[in-house]
Structure 1
């Protein structure tokens, strides 16, 4: 630890640190072990017995290498130049080879006018594992905003990234992302919706790349440096289906204005949060400013912010495909919107990342590289749009799932002890009607009702789970028969039969697997019941409510999810208008209607024997059949097409409300029978009436090993007709880490 009694570093500014690094550029550049530099605050080793007191000093020889894994910023950390090195020379190494002394990073940088700037040396090992292709989720909602995944193609390669936010030049509206994601001007940009790709717009000619540092930040000097501003605009085809909200974040506040007059070292260690299209929620902190991440031909490449994990226990969760995401100030003092949610201020646009290793660390440290959003807006001459089509919950979509889940707890046969257990947990499975009518936005990092875990939590951490939310039951196969017709024979509710069906129609990527996801979870519930594991049983029961809710939504189980012609943009939004806009507008009335909808009672599953997972999957297919019989998907599509324009939502509600309520009631009744069947198959244990804590349930559903997700082609049936993954199947669609310098 440095002896701070010799110098007072607290008054050093951003300008001082930049000028010191510039003055010593040649010296640092000629040190072979120097990997990168940044400006920031001194990192204090966690294991130093004197680390809580800046007045004491521990001999560095006793501490070993300083790494990103074993140190952090303290309240009293002083300004410094961070120097990342590939090797940490020990006193013994230098004593054995005195020539190594020429490779040492100086402890202080002295400027001609008397200013003294300390250096903080950190050992890193750049991870050079090979790149892997990202797996991005498709979104159910047709309402597009920040955090949404986008795709473009060039030279036979698909580029994947995230939408940052909406911006405008006063005339047109654009989506902001990275230049390397948007591609060359005129490049068509797509996004995935269920089982199709939909065009969003084209890449605009206005783009930013690498510019001289002094142009990006007039008044500061860095003669050999360029700033990587990597920003591009997508000119939108139709703004009607867009929102200024950022998925998972909600409404956004004013842009944090960072420039040569406002940059301060107080930014160091500032908590940030972002929502990436691949990773979902990401939480980090600012580690350093103006990170020099590469030098080529005498030119240094600089990015404004380097973002690290908040602590050693929580990974940054940053994957390829998150490029283009916006990082926000994660402040409890942020302004509150009309729904009681915080309006976080946007800080930076992510353009890439790096993965660094530390000696002795269990896992690599991920870093995200960001560009100040204020600099991008100034240079592109655009403004962030904060208020277009807002007011949705942070996770816009189908709150009907939580209604079905909570309602089903009251439909279990009252003489069963299971009824008391499930009713005790009704408010964690779903949401009480009184609360649901005025449901506020889901706040970041808080508990998700179990019936919405599949959307709010797993959709972004488990890409392969997307196929479990749907199945096009009315699409003819190679022999002309639909899946509903095939499954009139219960023996055909089998992954082998379904995979053969998809092979026949040439569908390789979007193989709906909804009944088999319920089958898989039901078998897990049977095992939990057999072992009297009430917490796991209740958690799985609440989560399976989501998929059963999908099975009673006509457009989730139909090839007409986006209308008769999904390429017709005007008519392709039927799903979001019916399931999201109409239901959200009339939600309070729908809640009252569901319990009185008059759907026929659903009989117990295999009442005379021990129910199987297969029998439960057959019951789900039967629910799907009743759903399309009651409310044919084309009835919804044609009603949507017949009432285009003003009043469309009201006309849909008037025509479809009764049958919509009946479908939801049928789903809840079926769900109750599924819970009963799994419980009976597991030996009918008495779980009591314990109401489980949200923290315990959240810890369970956050585990990657809990109810792992697979695609249909990864499933088969094993011994005793149990559903199992094939050998070598990778759960949850996870991909390996890879180093990134702005590539996707």
Structure 2
């Protein structure tokens, strides 16, 4: 050993080292007539070599003949290397005569690092593979792993939908770029749910073909090489007709996040699987990284992943038309089996297939197929989108469930008398959702309406479908200016200045002054819905019907929750009426923002509710309505709707929800806490007005109401019947 010469331990080499060595020798290796391509990988040991079974076995020095894909494989102790695929194997005698044709066995870097090469003899596949057949789907909702079709120039292009992704404003299907390349934005994209041709979305101008390697992996040596991404976005026509589970696989977990610091040789050998349309399950593993698969005009094209068979002599099935298929980490195959352990419930995507590469087997009538794929995280970075992991068919996209359930649950612990506290403590999980379940994302779905739904979101998840007249009860445009008899006045000003305006018929006339043809669904009646439910609660307590009281109180949580959200009390609820670009502000602010900050929300709101003092009880149904209007007033003052819209328009793209939270999060939690305390005050007021402390025993108050009784009540249309504003009268609310 020479202590005075710097050498690096081959086993300590990184992906960055191997890329640097390959680029250092790029001109020489690329110009060799026998070289077909190169990749970063691990040394492939011949199956009959003693080293294949024993890391410590010594080499004999014999000439072993060509190394092929069939007779070699890499082992955990294989050296990091540069794989060199060659079309001709040169024996020692030939190399002695023509040393200029030799692939350098070692690549020397100036600082002493040494990187081995591993030549592999291959033949190019001579014939193209047959294209994938059109698959038949029994599923009625479009989603990942559906084939998608685009008509162009008299023929139909076909690919696979990789995933559902979002940019903070809209939802898209992720597809291969070649599916939409050259087609104008707005063209129909079809799929075949239940074997029926259906337009699922439209092409957009957002796509990416290839980018410099350093755009995705800063600091990696590339000599101007381009990383092939081949991806595009199709804007979905209907969110309700879409689900996010990968057909044949299940829920998609968090994508494997790769970067210059995280890209590691540990990925080599990583077991993967994909499910191709038609129910074809394919297993494979990572054989190489940054495979140079083509060179045009001196610019090399790289495939981020070279995915091949798990066993030497095998193959992975790739077919024209399968571009877009997602390769998932096979966690079950990669981790030791634990007796009794549950199987994975979600699967993490690593890469998206965009092509295939076949090498003919030597002296055989078959070929070894490899999939060429791009890292899922690379695509998300390039297109500035994020993966939708668990967005099932029919999932509510109205307003945020996190907000409604958190407000309802927090209010259950803010009552003022012992018996009222006992009632809501016993029924807290029937009204809202526990903090830990909110953080974990265990929230009811609109697809689960055959089962009991926690009451605080029944108005969204159940009644919006079963009670058409309930639509107008969720909002009131308190800042809209009237005309005629209401010239220059808003509903907020009228409520404060003219007590006689606290009448649903006056409100109806106000809306007509702006637009006589305004539809009933657009005439917000939120304060009067609160007054109606207050009356139902008082009567239920007086009649000793605890189930009816709890049910009315639970759904009331939804409407008061709406009243403390700034976009429910403003004409800016979906942005400016003449600006389609801000239509998604409501969903992004109230759903996406709260969903991504759920852990902060539950802690912040709970602390704020504890810090707020109890409030005086309200008097009668219109007193409850006034309490809610005052909540609206405080909300509009503390968190102006125009400010929410301004932040939404200023920050676009994937980080939009996080940016909204950074600027508006603390004040949003203030509003939610105010809503929870207002809700608890209205509950307590109705309880006291109905004589709850006198009529009910403490033992009865501590007993939860069976959820089947609550479901039976909210499924009965005559219970707390929903009405349009013009159907309400002041007499009904007194």
TM-score (structure 2 length as normaliser): 0.50
TM-score by length of 1: 0.49
Relative to its length, the structure with more helix (as a share) is 2
